[in-house]
Amino acid sequence: MPSRSLACPLLAVILATAGCDSAADDAGPAPGAGVTCDSGDRMIRTELFFGMDRFEEPSVTPEEWQAFVDTVVTPRFKEGLTQFDVDGQYLASTDELIREDSRLIMLLHDGGQAAHDSIEAIREEYKMRFDQESVLRIDEAVCIDF
């Protein structure tokens, strides 16, 4: 599968969130509130970006990644998911450009609390298991039709 750079999604996040309140402010509307679909159903698409590099150990292996997907992600999203290999890069606080192999998982869900809690559990488990600082999460309302 062709690689996809993280630069465009990261730029999109920066532009899309300029002037937004903190994500911790739960008083605001849910993602996509007020979005109507001419065709299909309204759902939330969540993209999760997982870096493969670790601080003190070799990178996450393909076998470790697949075991994580099989035991942590799939049980929470049995209806399905899509995963991509992506090439990421970011500017470290030292002004060094860091390039990193990454994985992207795309999930479609109803945007409810159970889905939110499942996604947060996935992010926390990955950070703990693979010594990561963060897992980027992007939520967007979409219209889907099968």
| pLDDT higher than 60, residue 7 | no
Higher-pLDDT residue of 145 and 32 is: 145
- Say which residues have a Cβ less than 8 Å from residue 4's Cβ, sequence separation at least 6: 84, 86, 87, 104
The 3-state secondary structure of 8-68, one letter per residue: HHHHHHHHHHCCCCCCCCCCCCCCCCCCCCCCCEEEEEEEEEEECCCCCCCCCCHHHHHHH
pLDDT score of 31: 60
pLDDT in tens, 84-135: 999 999 888 899 999 999 999 999 999 999 999 999 999 999 999 999 999 9
Q: What are 80's two structure tokens?
A: 């399905």
- How many whole angstroms separate alpha carbon 58 and alpha carbon 79? 32
- pLDDT band at residue 30 using 50, 70 and 90 as cut-offs: low
pLDDT score of 44: 97
Q: Is 40-144 a domain of CATH 3.30.450.40? A: no
- pLDDT band at residue 60 using 50, 70 and 90 as cut-offs: very high
| pLDDT higher than 50, residue 27 | no
